[in-house]
Chain A
Amino acid sequence: MQWSTLFQKELLENWRNKKWIWVPLVIILLSIMDPITNYFLPQIIESVGGMPDGTVFELPDFSPSEVIMMSLSQLSSLGVLVIVLLSMGTISGERKSGVSELILVKPVSYSNYITSKWLSLLLLVWLSLFLGLLMSWYYTNILYGTLSFVDFTKVFFFYGIWLTLVVSLSIFYNSIFKSSGLVAFFTILTIMIMSIITKIFHHVLDWSPNNLSIYIQEMLTAEKINGDLWATSGVALAISVLLVLVSIQMFKRKEMAG
Chain B
Amino acid sequence: MVALLTVEKLTKKYGTKTIVDQISFKFGHHKCVALIGPNGAGKTTTLRTLAGLLRPTEGTIQFESQAKNQDIRSWIGYLPQYPSFHSWMTGKEFLTYSGRLAKLTKIEAATRAIELLKVVGISEEASNERISRYSGGMKQRLGIAQAIIHKPKLLILDEPVASLDPIGRREVLVLMEQLKQEMTILFSTHILNDAEEVSDELLLLNKGKIIESGSLQDLQKKYQTTVIKLEIDDSVDIYQEKINALESVANTKIERGALFISTVDLKIAREEILTLAAKEHWPITTFSINRASLEDMFMRVVNN
Please give me the residue from chain B that is nearest to A254 by CB atom: B55
Are A98 and B100 in contact (CB-based, < 8 A)?
no
CA distance A16 to B73 in the complex (A): 30
Residue pair A107, B74 in contact (C-beta under 8 Å): yes
A99 cross-chain contacts in B, Cβ below 8 A: 84-86
On whether the beta carbons of A5 and B97 are closer than 8 Å, the reply is yes
> A258 an interface residue at 8 Å Cβ cutoff?
yes
A105 in contact with B52 (CB, 8 Å): yes
* Contact call B88/A17, Cβ cutoff below 8 A: yes
The answer, yes or no, to whether A9 is at the interface (CB within 8 Å) is yes
| Residue A26 CB within 8 A of the other chain | no
Please name the residue on chain A nearest to B55 by beta carbon. Answer: A255
Least Cβ–Cβ distance between B128 and chain A, in angstroms: 14
Give the docked Cα–Cα distance between A33 and B2 (Å): 70
Contact with B along A245-256 (1 / 0, CB 8 A): 000000000011
Question: For the complex, what is the distance from the CA of A2 to the CA of B99, rounded to whole Å?
Answer: 10
Binds A, one of B75-83, B170-178, B194-202, B259-267: B75-83
Contact indicator per residue, chain B 37-52, by CB within 8 Å of chain A (1) or not (0): 0000000010010011
User: Could you tell me the distance between the alpha carbons of A180 and B100 in the complex, rounded to whole angstroms?
Assistant: 28
How many residues on the B side are at the interface (Cβ–Cβ under 8 A)?
30
Is A104 an interface position by the 8 A CB rule?
yes
Contact assessment for B80 and A98 in the assembled complex, using a CB-CB cutoff below 8 Å: yes
Q: Do A101 and B53 have beta carbons less than 8 Å apart?
A: yes
Q: Which of A2, A9, A107 has the most CB of B within 10 A?
A: A107
Interface members, chain A 99-135 (any B CB < 8 Å): 99, 101-108
Question: With A13-B88, A106-B73, A258-B48 in contact, is A2–B53 under 8 Å at CB?
Answer: no
B21-46 contacts to A, CB under 8 A, are 45
- Whether A16 and B88, one on each chain, are in contact in the complex, defined by CB atoms closer than 8 angstroms, is yes
Which of A16, A17, A105 has a CB less than 8 Å from the CB of B53?
A105
Which A residues, 53 to 112, have Cβ-Cβ distances below 8 Å to chain B? 97-99, 101-108
Contact of A256 among B53, B74, B77, B100 (CB under 8 A): B53
The reply to whether A2 and B85 contact each other, CB–CB distance below 8 Å, is no
Which residues of A193-226 have CB atoms within 8 Å of chain B's CB atoms? none
Residues of A contacting B253 with CB < 8 Å? none
Which of chain A's residues have a CB closer than 8 A to the CB of B118? none
- Are A102 and B53 touching (Cβ within 8 A)? no
How far is A104 from B78 in the complex, measured between Cα atoms in Å? 10
CB distance from A104 to the nearest CB of B (A): 7
The answer to whether A243 has its CB under 8 Å from any CB of chain B is: no
A6 beta carbon closer than 8 Å to chain B: yes
- Name the residue of chain A whose CB is nearest to the CB of B72: A107
A257 within 8 A of B: yes
Q: Are A97 and B84 in contact (CB under 8 A)?
A: yes
B102 at the interface (CB under 8 A from A): yes
Number of CB contacts from chain A to chain B under 8 A: 72
Tell me the chain A residues, 227-258 only, with Cβ under 8 Å from chain B: 255-258
What are the interface flags for B286-302 relative to A under an 8 Å C-beta threshold, 1 for contact and 0 otherwise? 00000000000000000
Q: Tell me how far the C-beta of A14 lies from the nearest C-beta in chain B, rounded to whole angstroms.
A: 10
B80 touches A101 (CB 8 A): yes
Chain B residue at smallest Cβ distance from A258: B54
Does B98 interact with chain A (Cβ within 8 Å)?
yes
Contact of B80 among A2, A9, A102, A255 (CB under 8 A): A102
Residues of chain B within 8 A (CB-CB) of A17 are 88
Q: Is the CB of B101 within 8 A of A2?
A: yes
Q: Judge whether B53 and A98 touch: CB under 8 Å.
A: no
Contact B54 A98 (CB under 8 A): no
Closest to A6 in B: B101
A64 to B282, CA, bound (A): 111
Q: B253-277: contact bitstring with A at CB < 8 Å (1 yes, 0 no)? A: 0000000000000000000000000
Closest to B75 in A: A107
Chain A residues with CB under 8 Å of B60's CB are none
Whole-angstrom distance between the alpha carbons of A256 and B80 in the complex? Answer: 12
Given A257-B53, A258-B48, does the pair A101, B97 have CB atoms closer than 8 Å? no
Complexed CA–CA distance, A104 and B146 (Å)? 12
Given contacts A9-B97, A257-B48, contact A98 B74 (CB under 8 A): no
Q: Known: A13-B86, A98-B84, A99-B86. Is A106-B101 also a contact (CB below 8 A)?
A: yes
Q: Indicate if the CB atoms of B71 and A107 lie closer than 8 Å.
A: yes
Query: How far in angstroms is the closest Cβ of chain B from A27?
Result: 23
Q: Which 9 A-B pairs have the closest CB atoms?
A: A98-B84, A257-B53, A5-B100, A106-B101, A107-B73, A105-B78, A256-B53, A107-B74, A16-B88
Binding site for A on B (CB under 8 A): 14, 45, 48, 51-55, 71, 73-74, 76-78, 80, 82-86, 88, 97-98, 100-103, 143, 146, 150
Give 27 CB contacts A-B under 8 Å.
A5-B97, A5-B101, A13-B88, A17-B88, A97-B84, A98-B82, A101-B53, A101-B84, A102-B80, A102-B146, A103-B101, A105-B51, A105-B52, A105-B53, A105-B76, A106-B102, A106-B150, A107-B71, A107-B74, A107-B103, A108-B101, A256-B54, A257-B48, A258-B14, A258-B45, A258-B53, A258-B54
